[in-house]
């Protein structure tokens, strides 16, 4: 059974069609990239798969359940772009701790099991030394690691990451790719929005390329032997992915 299944989905934002009849499926244990230029709809697709944007047509199933009935949020971990955290003075541990909330009820306290998961996730991404530092004092790569740890704290089977390499140095990208490779080996399914394959080439099983809100058929950059980057498309909507 596919972990993610999008069947002929359309997303329209502000009257503009952003995604057009996108069909996608991701199998357990796969590492898949969503590739495309700015404005190609890759971030919109990820957000639509998470239910953050309404669908104007089609259906999304996560773990076999239609999105509006999906309740097993602890099975997936979302890693948004790192500018998304709005509490700069919160510590790494505080940010990572929110990751276990998908399996906690309101008024329920963080118990031993959750605490162990939080510590484990911080250790997994190598931020033990920074755990009690405010997230604003961290470098871009470290902030990205903190957000990955937050997603890992819920022990998800599926990680969905939105441009984890945006604004981080090449060597940091390589070390993040190494971390993601390790997670894939642990059996986690990865769906990653990327601007270019870069350091992730060796980790990925395949890539889905988007252009103008459609999936490009038969293009799989991971198996292409040339090193070209995806072509910079002029943004047909005149704005950046509508974020």
Q: Which residues bind other proteins (CB under 8 A)?
A: 47, 50-52, 71, 73-74, 76, 78, 80, 84-87, 89-91, 94-95, 97-99, 101-102, 104, 106-107, 110, 132-134, 137, 150, 154
| Rounded CA Rg of the chain | 18
Nearest approach, Cβ of residue 109 and other proteins (Å): 9
Report the Cα 45 to chain-centroid distance in Å.
11
Nearest approach, Cβ of residue 121 and other proteins (Å): 14
Considering the complex, state which of residue 48 and residue 197 has its C-beta at the smaller distance from other proteins.
Answer: 48
Nearest approach, Cβ of residue 204 and other proteins (Å): 22
Nearest approach, Cβ of residue 224 and other proteins (Å): 32
Considering the complex, state which of residue 189 and residue 209 has its C-beta at the smaller distance from other proteins.
Answer: 189
Segments of 40-81 assigned E as strands:
57-62, 65-66, 76-79
* Residue 238 to residues 16, 18, 100, Cα–Cα distance (Å): 11, 12, 39
Nearest approach, Cβ of residue 151 and other proteins (Å): 9
Considering the complex, state which of residue 153 and residue 197 has its C-beta at the smaller distance from other proteins.
Answer: 153
Query: Are the C-beta atoms of 142 and 168 separated by less than 8 Å?
Result: no
Structural tokens at position 75: 């099975």
Q: Which residues pair with 6 in a beta bridge?
A: 24, 60
Return the half-sphere exposure (C-beta side, CA atoms, 13 A cut-off) of residue 201: 13
Give the C-alpha separation, 233 to 132, whole Å.
42
Considering the complex, state which of residue 183 and residue 197 has its C-beta at the smaller distance from other proteins.
Answer: 183
Nearest approach, Cβ of residue 99 and other proteins (Å): 8
Considering the complex, state which of residue 9 and residue 197 has its C-beta at the smaller distance from other proteins.
Answer: 9
- In SS3 terms, 122-137 reads as HHHCCCHHHCCCEHHH
Nearest approach, Cβ of residue 47 and other proteins (Å): 8
Considering the complex, state which of residue 123 and residue 137 has its C-beta at the smaller distance from other proteins.
Answer: 137
Considering the complex, state which of residue 8 and residue 171 has its C-beta at the smaller distance from other proteins.
Answer: 171
Q: What's the distance, Cα to Cα, between the start and end of the chain in Å? A: 31
Burial class (CB within 10 angstroms; exposed 0-12, middle 13-18, buried 19+) of 56: middle
């Amino acid at each position: 059974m596919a972990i993610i299944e999008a069947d002929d989905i359309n997303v329209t934002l502000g009257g503009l069609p952003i995604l057009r009849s996108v069909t996608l499926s991701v199998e357990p244990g796969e590492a898949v990239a969503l590739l495309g230029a700015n404005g190609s709809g890759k971030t919109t697709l990820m957000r639509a798969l998470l239910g953050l944007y309404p669908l104007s047509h089609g259906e999304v199933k996560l773990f076999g359940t239609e999105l509006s009935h999906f309740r097993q949020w602890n099975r997936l971990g979302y890693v948004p772009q790192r500018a998304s955290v709005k509490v700069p003075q919160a510590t790494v541990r505080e940010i990572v701790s929110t990751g276990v909330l998908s399996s906690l009820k309101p008024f329920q306290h963080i118990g031993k099991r959750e605490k162990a998961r939080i510590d484990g996730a911080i250790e997994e991404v190598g931020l033990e030394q920074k755990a009690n530092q405010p997230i604003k004092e961290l470098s871009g790569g470290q902030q990205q690691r903190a957000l990955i740890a937050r997603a890992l704290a819920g022990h998800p089977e599926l990680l969905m990451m939105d441009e984890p390499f945006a604004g981080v140095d090449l060597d940091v990208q390589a070390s993040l790719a190494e971390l993601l490779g390790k997670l894939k080996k642990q059996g986690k399914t990865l769906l990653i929005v990327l601007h270019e394959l870069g350091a992730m080439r060796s980790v990925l099983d395949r890539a889905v390329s988007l252009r103008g809100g459609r999936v490009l058929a038969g293009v799989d950059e991971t198996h292409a032997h040339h090193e070209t980057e995806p072509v910079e498309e002029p943004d047909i909507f005149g704005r950046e992915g509508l974020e």
